[in-house]
Amino acid sequence: MQRQESEPLLTPGEVATMFRVDPKTVTWWAKTGRLTSIRTPGGHRRYRQAEVRALLAGIMQQGSN
């Protein structure tokens, strides 16, 4: 059985670096629905790279207005 390639996932630390915030802020965003998180079998949160980049692009667009 062949394993399908999945979309890239980011850790809370990686997302936090992109937004220049604390990783706990990223976790709070997930709890409040701002970002969708995926749980690993070990219970850790991961975030879809495409969703994170879209959110970042939207924030950058707001900042330039």
Contact in structure between 17 and 53 (CB atoms under 8 Å): no
pTM value is 0.80
Q: Are 48 and 7 in contact (CB under 8 A)?
A: yes
Looking at domain 9-63, its CATH class is mainly alpha
Could you tell me the residue ranges of all domains in the chain? 9-63
pLDDT digits (tens, 9 = 90+) for 19-63: 999 999 999 999 999 999 999 999 999 999 999 999 999 887 777
